[in-house]
């Protein structure tokens, strides 16, 4: 009995750094921001308790929030499915036995290492601006300059491309998943006379569905919090067409110093992400297949 | 479990006491003093300031100076966060509109008086108009900064426009359109959406005195707003200015627009303090005065301190910090080292030292003198408020993207401004 106690004691000691970090750097700010969301905390000066006023303003009278929420949903709806689909297609291609395949795998992963960094965003701006590289190239084919980032109808799509382009980590997961699919299943399908498409829909995709679920949730959570790209490339413009909620939170918090209001928006965003994650989990019963499950 | 809690609590207490010990130590400093000085700027300003600080430490070996400097982006956010967290530097360079915005939130800045700094070196009205909050002097102006209209004389004459034209609102269109008529990718004005907002403010100032007055009220009528927007719409229609879809990417940095850099835009609204940076590698620029309409209420040409140096009220070494400021502003060695990196100095001695050494460029001197001659009333603190500016900008953006007619833009501008002003 005594030995057991000692073990648990030293175990806690090992995780103490993490626990401390979590308590001080995550839990405290989390609780604070929840409290601030009910106040008019301004960073400088004292906070006053406002009750639900911040939340009322968000849902009832804040047109900027509505615009920002709309744009955020569009962004997630564009970026996440395309990124996952793209990652899957590339993963299937890279799963072939081609010479030098490892080189290609590395190459396709590079964008993810570069990540949503500031430098990439600046690069993106110069690629897609009016006199940018992209317009230069299409100009050679006689197509006039397009305002990729200046046209309110196109800017969000262009900014989403940065995210989609970083499909590497999803791709890697798919690639690992593809390797796990038993070859016997494909052989059986072949004997039954299934074509490539049929094999994909009936074997590859169901076998990969747990990874699709994982990627969906991770990418969705990330996309809802996207900040770097739109902040650096378009600063939320033109006409707030790329003004994602994190940008709005940032502006309220660090430009106007309405920390209380910004915290309230952040908690609304957090709730949205949580609900959608739960929906994804709940719906997964219907479409995710785990090895050993029986399908109807 | 109980044991675990005890361990956690002890650990927490330990870390807490560590922080406490750290802060106590810095408070107990007696002999040697460390002062932190922060500013934004480019390399030239950084080097000049660091050299002046070195000269000070050479004379005052007990003082250690630490410069915290970088670019403009994010500087304001950093400063406010530092002030809120109690970690702000001892001496802070701020932009003039921040003085009221920050001072209104508490005693953030130390009060400066004649016993600490020889205030007779400064123009009294300048100190009162721009550096005073609630009757208390909160900072010292680094230099005098005025609006100027920069024109590329060669580009103008290349397109058959007399480079010596005295500009009026009308001939900016009748002459300016020649550029875009001959070259579809070239424009008379380099204005980005934020610069268009400045032009709107200038136009309204001349029509109505101000956008927002000192009584926190919108100062122009809907008809006057419509008149201003109708005029600005002609800029878009006649190719005076590039469409927002091409320029919005360069919000607050028109000088980074390749069209501007490649010499395809001839003129810009500007501050004297930033014109060198904005002109960049381009040649043949001169400065001009602003167009002023007949019966203008106010010219709308702004004059204000380039920046203001304030002393953090939480500083442990306020007296030492003010002493350093006094040195930077009045010592001939420091003045020479700082040069015109913060505009033409606002002190009498500063101007005379630099003039003697021939360090004030003719262009800057001419622009500053012409600007001072033309300068109108200072903008109200409400018009300079960052939320008011954002409100104006949002309407200008919608107007510039063609979503609002001049009449709609005017109505919306007034309505949005009233809502914002009510929330301040």
- Mean pLDDT rounded to a whole number for chain B: 89
Are A178 and A200 within 8 A, CB to CB? no
Q: Could you tell me the sign of the dihedral formed by the alpha carbons of B315, B318, B324, B330, in that order? A: positive
Chain B residue closest in CA terms to A47 = B105
Note whether B33-142+306-330 and B145-303+374-423 share their fold: yes
Asked if the model's pLDDT at residue B10 lies above 90, the reply is no
Considering the segment(s) B33-142+306-330 as one domain, its CATH architecture is 3-Layer(aba) Sandwich (3.40)
- In the prediction, which pLDDT does B13 show? 44
Hey, are the CB atoms on A44 and B106 less than 8 Å from each other? Answer: yes
ipTM entry: 0.81
* Assigned token pair, B301: 């040409």
Interface residues on B facing A, Cβ-Cβ cutoff 8 A: 3-4, 7-8, 11-12, 15, 76-77, 80-81, 83-84, 102, 105-106, 108, 193, 243-249, 251, 258-259, 386-387, 390, 394, 397-398, 401, 403
- In the prediction, which pLDDT does A5 show? 58
Q: Name the residue with tokens 């104006």.
A: B392
Asked if the model's pLDDT at residue B116 lies above 60, the reply is yes
Summarised one tens digit per residue, pLDDT across range B68-107 is 999 888 899 899 889 988 899 999 999 999 999 889 888 8
Q: Name the residue with tokens 């009294």.
A: B124
Give 3-state DSSP helix, strand, coil % of chain B, rounded to 5.
55, 15, 30
User: Where is B133: in which H helix or E strand?
Assistant: strand B132-133
| Residue among A257, A259, A260, A262 with most chain B CBs within 10 A, to mutate | A257
- In the prediction, which pLDDT does A106 show? 85
**Is CATH 3.40.190.10 the right assignment for the domain spanning B145-303+374-423?**
yes
- In the prediction, which pLDDT does A122 show? 87
Q: What is the pLDDT along chain A (296 residues), one digit of tens a residue?
A: 455 556 678 888 888 999 999 999 999 999 999 999 999 988 877 788 988 999 999 999 899 999 999 999 999 999 999 999 999 999 998 888 888 888 888 888 888 777 667 888 888 888 998 888 898 899 888 888 888 998 889 999 999 998 888 888 899 999 999 998 998 988 998 898 888 889 899 889 999 999 999 999 999 999 999 998 899 999 888 999 999 999 999 999 888 888 999 999 999 999 999 999 999 999 988 888 876 665 54
Asked if the model's pLDDT at residue B313 lies above 90, the reply is yes
- In the prediction, which pLDDT does A291 show? 66
Chains A–B, number of C-beta pairs less than 8 Å apart = 78
The domains of chain B are located at: 33-142+306-330, 145-303+374-423
| Residue among B193, B245, B251 with most chain A CBs within 10 A, to mutate | B245
Cα separation of B29 and B34, whole Å?
9
What does DSSP assign to residue A39?
B
Q: Are strands B33-40 and B91-94 parallel, antiparallel or unpaired?
A: parallel
Question: A203: buried, middle or exposed (CB in 10 Å: 19+, 13-18, 0-12)?
Answer: middle
Cα separation of B28 and B105, whole Å?
28
* Assigned token pair, A13: 């000691």
Summarised one tens digit per residue, pLDDT across range B341-397 is 888 898 999 989 998 888 888 888 899 889 989 999 989 989 998 889 999 999 999
- In the prediction, which pLDDT does B22 show? 40
* Assigned token pair, B27: 């408070």
Segments of B341-388 assigned E as strands: 344-345
Chain B residues with CB under 8 Å of A125 CB are 249
- DSSP assignment of B385-420: -HHHHHHHHHHHHHHHTTSS-HHHHHHHHHHHHHHH
Chain A residues with CB under 8 Å of B3 CB are 9
Q: What is the 3-state secondary structure (H, E, C) of B337-379?
A: HHCCECEEECCHHHHHHHHHCCCCCHHHHHHHHHHHHHCCCCC
CB atoms within 10 A of CB B176: 25
- In the prediction, which pLDDT does B149 show? 96
Q: Are strands B63-70 and B91-94 parallel, antiparallel or unpaired?
A: unpaired
Ordered domains of chain A (ranges, CATH): 1-36 (no CATH), 51-287 (1.10.3720.10)
């Amino acid at each position: 009995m005594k030995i057991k106690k000692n073990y648990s004691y030293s175990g806690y000691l090992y995780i103490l750094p993490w626990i401390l970090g979590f308590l001080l750097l995550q839990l405290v700010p989390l609780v604070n921001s929840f409290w601030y969301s009910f106040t008019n905390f301004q960073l400088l000066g004292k906070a006053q308790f406002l009750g639900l006023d911040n939340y009322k303003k968000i849902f009832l009278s804040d047109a900027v929030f509505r615009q920002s929420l709309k744009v955020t949903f569009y962004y997630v709806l564009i970026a996440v499915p395309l990124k996952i689909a793209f990652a899957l297609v590339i993963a299937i291609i890279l799963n072939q036995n081609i010479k030098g395949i490892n080189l290609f795998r590395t190459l396709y992963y590079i964008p993810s290492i570069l990540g949503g960094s500031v430098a990439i965003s600046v690069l993106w701006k110069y690629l897609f601006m009016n006199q940018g590289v992209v317009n230069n190239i299409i100009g050679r084919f006689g197509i006039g300059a397009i305002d990729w980032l200046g046209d309110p109808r196109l800017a969000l799509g262009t900014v989403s491309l940065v995210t989609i382009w970083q499909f590497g980590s999803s791709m890697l997961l798919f690639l690992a998943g593809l390797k796990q699919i038993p070859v016997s299943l494909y052989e059986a399908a072949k004997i039954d006379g299934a074509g490539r498409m049929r094999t994909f829909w009936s074997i590859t995709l169901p076998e990969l569905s747990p990874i699709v679920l994982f990627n969906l949730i991770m990418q969705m959570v990330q996309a809802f919090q996207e900040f770097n790209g739109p902040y650096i490339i378009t600063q939320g413009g033109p006409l707030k067409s790329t003004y994602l909620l994190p940008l709005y939170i940032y502006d309220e918090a660090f430009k106007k110093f309405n920390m209380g209001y910004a915290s309230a928006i952040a908690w609304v965003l957090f709730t949205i992400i949580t609900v959608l994650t739960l929906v994804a989990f709940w719906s997964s019963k219907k479409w995710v297949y785990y090895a050993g499950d029986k399908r109807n | 479990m109980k044991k675990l809690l005890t361990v956690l609590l002890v650990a927490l207490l330990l870390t807490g006491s560590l922080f406490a010990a750290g802060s106590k130590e810095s408070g107990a400093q007696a002999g040697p003093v460390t002062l932190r000085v922060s500013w934004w700027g480019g390399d030239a300003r950084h080097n000049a300031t660091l050299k002046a600080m070195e000269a000070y430490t050479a004379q005052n070996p007990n003082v250690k100076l630490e410069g915290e400097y970088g670019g403009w982006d994010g500087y304001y956010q950093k400063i406010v966060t530092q002030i809120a967290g109690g970690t702000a530097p001892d001496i802070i360079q701020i932009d003039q509109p921040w003085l009221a915005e920050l001072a209104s939130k508490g005693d953030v800045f130390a009060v400066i008086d004649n016993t600490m700094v020889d205030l007779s070196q400064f123009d009294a009205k300048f100190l009162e108009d721009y550096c005073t909050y609630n009757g208390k002097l909160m900072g010292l102006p680094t230099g005098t900064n005025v609006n100027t209209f920069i024109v590329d004389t060669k580009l103008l004459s290349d397109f058959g426009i007399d480079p010596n034209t005295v500009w009026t609102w009308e001939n900016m269109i009748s002459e300016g359109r020649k550029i875009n008529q001959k070259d579809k990718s070239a424009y008379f004005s380099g204005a980005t959406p934020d610069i268009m907002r400045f032009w709107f403010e200038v136009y309204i100032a001349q029509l109505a005195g101000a956008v927002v007055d000192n009584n926190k009220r919108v100062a122009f009528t809907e008809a006057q707003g419509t008149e201003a927007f109708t005029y600005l719409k002609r800029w878009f229609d006649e190719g005076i200015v590039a469409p927002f879809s091409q320029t919005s990417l360069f919000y607050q940095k028109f000088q980074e627009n390749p069209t501007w850099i490649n010499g395809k835009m001839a003129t810009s609204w500007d501050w004297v303090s930033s014109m060198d940076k904005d002109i960049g590698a381009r040649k043949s620029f001169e400065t001009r005065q602003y167009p002023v309409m007949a019966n203008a209420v106010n010219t709308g040409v702004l004059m204000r301190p380039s920046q203001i140096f304030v002393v953090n009220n939480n500083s442990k070494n306020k007296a030492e910090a003010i002493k350093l400021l006094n040195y930077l502003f009045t010592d001939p060695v420091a003045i020479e080292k700082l040069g015109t990196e913060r505009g033409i100095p606002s002190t009498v001695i500063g101007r005379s030292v630099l003039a003697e050494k021939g360090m004030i460029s003719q262009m800057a001197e001419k622009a500053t003198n012409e600007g001072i001659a033309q300068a109108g009333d200072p903008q109200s603190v409400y018009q300079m408020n960052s939320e008011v500016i954002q409100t104006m900008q949002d309407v200008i953006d919608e107007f510039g993207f063609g979503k609002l007619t001049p009449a709609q833009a005017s109505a919306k501008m007034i309505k949005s401004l009233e809502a914002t002003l009510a929330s301040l």
